[in-house]
Amino acid sequence: MEVSFVDKGLKIMLKRITIFYIMITVFIFGISMIWAPRYALAAVCGVIIALLSFISNTLAASYAVDKKGGNKFPIIIGFTIRVVLVSVIGLLFFLHNSYDVIAYMIGYSTNFFAMIFYGVSINCAEGK
């Protein structure tokens, strides 16, 4: 099934960023298994939730912008669902072990690295 509101440039961006997230996930998993294997699952879960959150936000924003009249409802609903989902998962990790939530937050925070890597890759591709 082809999503009609996602243009070619957006598909390329999502594919590249997903590759960066996969690389970060492997790195986080490897580091976690060496230093703190007990927290590897929480850290990797944080990275995966960050990726899913980014993709859903990107698709909702693309849909809202491409619709005639600029309906912002998908952005608001998507934001609310993402915040609740991320918070509930963090709470579950906290209830299991209070230190798990720190590993989860570290994994979730790595989304900034994916964005930085993507920005640098664009800059290098353009020759700047």
C-alpha pair distances (Å), 43 with each of 72, 83, 89: 32, 18, 12
What's the pLDDT score for residue 68? 60
- pTM of the predicted structure, to 2 decimals: 0.84
Q: What is the pLDDT of residues 65-81, one digit of tens each?
A: 776 656 677 778 888 98
pLDDT at residue 1 above 50?
A: no
C-alpha pair distances (Å), 53 with each of 11, 89, 108: 16, 13, 10
Rg (CA), the chain: 17
Q: What is the pLDDT of residues 23-79, one digit of tens each?
A: 999 999 999 999 999 999 999 999 999 999 999 888 888 877 776 656 677 778 888
